[in-house]
Structures are given as C-alpha cells and as structure tokens.
Amino acid sequence: MWGFDFSQLDWNEIGTASVDTLKMLGASAIFTFILGLPLGVLLYQTSRSTTGWVRVVYTVLSVIVNILRSVPFIILIVALIPLTVSIVGVSYGVLGTIPPLVIGAAPFFARLVETSLREVDRGVLEAAQSMGASTWQVIMKVLLPEARPGLLAGITITVVTLVSYTAMSGMVGGGGLGDLAIRYGYYRYQKEVMIISVLFMIILVQVLQMAGDRFVKHFTRK
C-alpha cells in the first residue's frame, strides 16, 4: 500500500530503541528538574534584589543560561563530548546522551521556573514576610505552592522538548528512536522505519502533553 512494506520491520529493534528513548527521557528529565528548579528560584530571587553584588550574580547566571539556551542542541552535544566522557566515560549511546540533554534542558526549564514565579501575586509574598516568615519559608511554603500550576506546565513543556532533543542525539549515535530513524530511514532509505519511529515519538509527545494538561487542571481547580 502506497509503496510501503511494514512486514520486514525488526520490531525487536524498534522496541529496544523505544525503551532507550524512554531511558534517556526519564533520566535526563529527573536531573533537569533537580538542577533547573533551584536555578530558576535563584534567578528569581537574585533578580528582585537591589544589592549590587546580588545583581552581578543574577547578570552572570542570566548570561550563562541565555548562552546555553541559544546554542542549537546538535552543536551543544558535539561541543560537550569531552565533558560527557569525563562524567560518564562514553560520548555515545543512552548514557553518553544524558549529560548534554540535561545541560541543554536545565537552563530552559530554569527560565520557565523563573517566569512562573514572577506570576505569583506579590501581595501573598509580602503577607507571609510580614508574618515573620524567613526567605526559605516563603519559597517553600508560599512561592512554590502558589506557582505550582505554572511549574507543572513548565515541566510538561520541558519533557516534550527533551523528546525532540533525544531525536537529534541520534545524529551522533545517541541511540533511541532518533538514531533508528537516521540509520535506517536516512542512510539505508528504509522509509518504513522512519515512519514508525516518527509515529512512536508523536504518540509519546501526545501522551506526555495530555498527562501534563491533566495535572495542571487538577491543581488549578478551585
């Protein structure tokens, strides 16, 4: 049908590539949130300060975040090969893809965190401070809970972005569905493999987006 022959597909290899994509996505998402959340909070807190040295800290962090966000991921993953090897010992496969995924996505998520925190009503924060709450208490008990819907939406956007990053990592032997699509669909002209790989990634993105939307709706109910 339409010149496609799906009967010769190696479903075991497709299954392995799908699992590899999920491994890359899961591990990189966890480390992205671990690094990106405090970085976003730090950006927000330092941006509000009028102290000279704190403003310098914000400017430096902001420049670093902007640089990492502006570099195309396919270039970033190649540029970070020495760092990746020093961290995990390899620069290819699932393990070798996780460090550049985290370094590429954490600044992106940090900006989303900063934006979400800026949307919190300042009156709520001032009320907590007037009651004697410390900065740490304001952050943990007021700021983050109030920004939770925006943070969940940011998590969803970041995870979906990571899916596209995992696909691009296939250009440099990163493994997963992106690597499968490039090796078979591009180099060997097996368009059926590319179609299945793209279809699986579309389904994955749809599932992640639907799950994220449900979480956001749940936490925004009055």
Q: Is the pLDDT of residue 1 over 50?
A: no
Q: Indicate whether 28 pLDDT > 60.
A: yes
pLDDT score of 222 more than 60: no
Give the CA distances from residue 218 to residues 6, 10, 149, 221, in Å, rounded to whole numbers and listed in that order.
Answer: 41, 40, 9, 6
Residues in contact with 117: Cβ distance below 8 Å, sequence separation at least 6, in sequence order: 40, 41, 44, 143, 147, 150
| pLDDT over 80 at 8, yes or no | no
The model's pLDDT over 206-221, given as tens digits with 9 standing for 90+, comes to 999 998 888 878 777 6
Model pLDDT for residues 117-148, shown as the tens digit of each residue: 998 888 888 888 888 878 888 888 888 888 88
**How far apart are the C-alpha atoms of 76 and 146, rounded to whole Å?**
34
pLDDT band at residue 27 using 50, 70 and 90 as cut-offs: very high
**CA–CA distance, 202 with 219 (Å, rounded to integer):** 26
The stretch 7-34 carries a mean pLDDT of: 87
